[in-house]
Amino acid sequence: MMTFVLAALLSNSAADLEPGRELRQEGEIEEAIVFFEESLASEPDSAETQRELGHCLALAGRYTEAIEMYGNLAASQDLQWQLEAAKWTGLTQLYLGNVEASLEQSRLEARLAVQLGESSAAARAARHVGYVHAELSQFSEANTAFVAALDGNPNDLDTLYLVGLLSARQGDWGSLRYQVMDLEPVVRRSGNSDGMNRIDHLKAELALARGDAREANELLENASGSKNALYEETHARAYYEQGDLAQAEATLRSILDATDERLEFPLLYVKALLGMAKLLDAQEQGEEAASFYRRFLEHWENAVGPLPGVVEARSRLQQLEAQS
């Protein structure tokens, strides 16, 4: 039956890539790979198909192949495709723990965006550097990157939101409280619904800091419809603090099982693997916990320089394996 479906899909015009995207979004990653490989065989120079196939390879865990596919875009004479190559190559490098290579691609993305006159793309690339440093607990570097990003646009709400998350990662609750007070009326006046989701997210971080996991969960319920992995990561922690381990596990699995939604959040995907390992470990499900520790280490154990969680995961995995 699946062969028949694929044959029917592939009978469409090679330029029609939507069936392949739908397969990918539905989690049929291997079938999507076949679709785009066949499409690329018909149009070997199609940059759009190369990008879509790169996405599928990344979601399949074939990161080196995905980077090579995005590399084809980098060879284009079109600056827009070079920008796409820099963005997706940089993101994919994070799955492998190649942080400096990833950040260099983000800097290249920012330079290309400036050349193209795309201020929003340049801002995204600049603040992404700060976001990566923040998620890796490299707080001084994150602060420097966000200051640079705000120099270009001091009122950029996306960057200000990430600055708020940096305060949360640092445990600087006083700064975060004032940041929320400053941001909330601005966002309300803008009428931006996603902006209000971000305010709720920051408030949830404050609620967790006060030990009020119930309030944090209520705030995050307001933002849960947006399928944002940043919200879900906090939601999982809130459920855990509330003692609802089943919901914490389900929320982490939603990050791990996401398709297109996680292409821009490789760090949270890898961190969710570690979160699942710890959650299962706490419930004395040693065999499954060990499996998630291994998956986490497959991503980051061989990275250049220490990354958060690697030493702890390696040590705990050795203990679990010794017990089995």
Is 97 domain-assigned?
Answer: yes
Give the model's pLDDT for residue 254. 94
Give the CA count within 13 Å in the CB-facing half-sphere of 48.
10
Show which of 152, 183, 206 is a domain's final residue: 152
Q: Are residues 104 and 38 in the same domain?
A: no
What is the pLDDT confidence band of residue 225, given thresholds at 50, 70 and 90? low
- Whole-angstrom distance, CA of residue 160 vs CA of residue 130: 11
Is 163 domain-assigned?
Answer: no
What is the pLDDT confidence band of residue 10, given thresholds at 50, 70 and 90? very low
- Assign residue 59 the CATH number of its domain: 1.25.40.10
Give the model's pLDDT for residue 13. 42
What is the pLDDT confidence band of residue 152, given thresholds at 50, 70 and 90? confident
Give the model's pLDDT for residue 14. 42
Q: Which pTM was predicted?
A: 0.91
pLDDT surpasses 90 at 151:
no
pLDDT surpasses 70 at 5:
no
Is 218 domain-assigned?
Answer: no
Give the model's pLDDT for residue 8. 42
pLDDT surpasses 60 at 12:
no
| Side chain identity, residue 270 | V
What is the pLDDT confidence band of residue 153, given thresholds at 50, 70 and 90? confident
pLDDT surpasses 90 at 6:
no
Give the range of the structural domain holding residue 96, as residue numbers without chain letter.
79-152
Cβ–Cβ < 8 Å for 50, 72: yes
When pLDDT is averaged across residues 146-163 and rounded to a whole number, the result is 91
Cβ–Cβ < 8 Å for 209, 171: yes
- Whole-angstrom distance, CA of residue 180 vs CA of residue 254: 27
Give the model's pLDDT for residue 224. 60
Give the model's pLDDT for residue 323. 93
Q: Are residues 37 and 73 in the same domain?
A: yes
When pLDDT is averaged across residues 269-279 and rounded to a whole number, the result is 97
**Each residue's pLDDT tens digit, 198-207:** 999 999 999 9
Helix and strand element counts for the chain (H, E): 18, 0
Q: Are residues 269 and 323 in the same domain?
A: yes
**Alpha-carbon 68 to chain mean position:** 20
Give the model's pLDDT for residue 226. 61
When pLDDT is averaged across residues 5-34 and rounded to a whole number, the result is 77
Show which of 129, 152, 175 is a domain's final residue: 152
Here the tokens at position 54 are 């790169």
| 252 vs 155, residue with greater confidence | 252
Show which of 130, 152, 174 is a domain's final residue: 152
3-class secondary structure for 198-217? HHHHHHHHHHHHCCCHHHHH
When pLDDT is averaged across residues 166-192 and rounded to a whole number, the result is 94
Is 280 domain-assigned?
Answer: yes
Task: Please name the residues in contact with 105: beta carbons below 8 A apart, sequence gap of 6 or more.
Answer: 86, 87, 89, 90, 93
pLDDT surpasses 70 at 1:
no
Q: Are residues 71 and 107 in the same domain?
A: no
Is 275 domain-assigned?
Answer: yes
Q: Are residues 93 and 41 in the same domain?
A: no
Give the model's pLDDT for residue 15. 56
When pLDDT is averaged across residues 58-65 and rounded to a whole number, the result is 98
**Overall domain count for the chain:** 3
